[in-house]
Amino acid sequence: MNYKIATIEDDLLIAEDIRSKLEGLGHVVLGNARNYDEGISLAETTRPELIIADILLEGSKDGIETIAKIYEFHKCPVIYLSANSESTMVKRAMQTHPAAFLIKPFKLSEFAINIDLAIQNFTREVDFDQANPRITDSVFLPDQNTFVRVKKKDILYVKADGSYVEVVTEKKSYHLASNLKNFHRQFQEPNFIRVSRTYLINSDYVSRINGNMIYLEIAGKEIPLIFSKDKRQEILDRFQVLKTK
């Protein structure tokens, strides 16, 4: 099978080598991006069937962050390339559920096999999801000896509380025996933003951002929450911010 593939690689010599290999295998290369912004633009305009992305890119955002952003508007299988097998990086990459992770240098034969497997496995998952659609507007949260259905849009924020998390709605709060990282891993929703180690918030309720404070407006009242300073730009990037200068 031949596929339409986009590559994200900041080393142009390597990008050209990958393009040559892919075209030699009969695939169509839609283009190459060197950084986060180019990667987003390329995915938006071409809607590839597969993305091959290097993890280390030029600029402040890497390939993992690029793929996470692309997944907000376009889902397709991803193969990561890296010269580094450091465990922390691999764990971060795995959070975006890649189809494969190849360490440079790689053999052409394993490259070809992983492309076919990535597409086939992804197609099977899509077919299964379509045949067995999951209810996605709600979650069932444990509450004493039962499970209570809670609309995701009604969740204001989730707060880490030691070995528990507190899921806060306007009417009630639920305490779950889980940490925030584990909760967020299962609760992948584009409207929710992890603003610190303590808070996961529903962006629909954000009324304003001031310094390192973010305010949620509920029933006419504002709830101030502190976010990590290193998260400021990431948070602002989730909103359309108009600049005066």
> Measuring CA to CA, which residue among 85, 90, 99, 91 is closest to residue 48?
99
pLDDT in tens, 110-152: 778 888 888 887 776 655 455 555 567 888 888 877 888 899 9
Q: Rounded distance, CA 123 to CA 20, Å?
A: 26
**Rounded Cα distance, 4 and 161, in Å:** 46
* C-alpha–C-alpha distance, residues 231 and 69, integer Å: 15
**Confidence check: pLDDT of 231 > 60:** yes
At 158, the pLDDT band (50, 70, 90 cuts) reads very high
Confidence of residue 159 (pLDDT cuts 50, 70, 90): very high
> What's the pLDDT at 85?
66
Q: Determine the 3-state secondary structure of 22 from DSSP.
A: helix
Give long-range contacts, CB 8 A cutoff, 24+ apart: 153-157.
Answer: 153/191, 153/202, 153/204, 155/192, 155/202, 156/201, 156/202, 156/205, 156/216, 156/218, 156/223, 157/199, 157/200, 157/201, 157/202, 157/205, 157/216, 157/223, 157/225
Smallest Cα–Cα separation from 93: which of 113, 71, 116, 60?
71
What is the chain's Cα-based Rg? 20
Residue 82: its pLDDT value, please? Answer: 82
Identify the pLDDT of residue 52. 94
Per DSSP bridges, beta strands 4-8 and 50-54 are parallel
**Cross-strand partners of 192:** 202
Task: Report the pLDDT value the prediction gives residue 98, as an integer from 0 to 100.
Answer: 85
Q: Are 228 and 160 in contact (CB under 8 A)?
A: no
Tens digit of pLDDT for each residue in 84-97? 766 677 778 888 88
Distance CA 6, CA 77 (A): 11
Name the DSSP class of 200: E
- Would you state the pLDDT for residue 86? 67
Of residues 185 and 40, more confidently modeled: 40
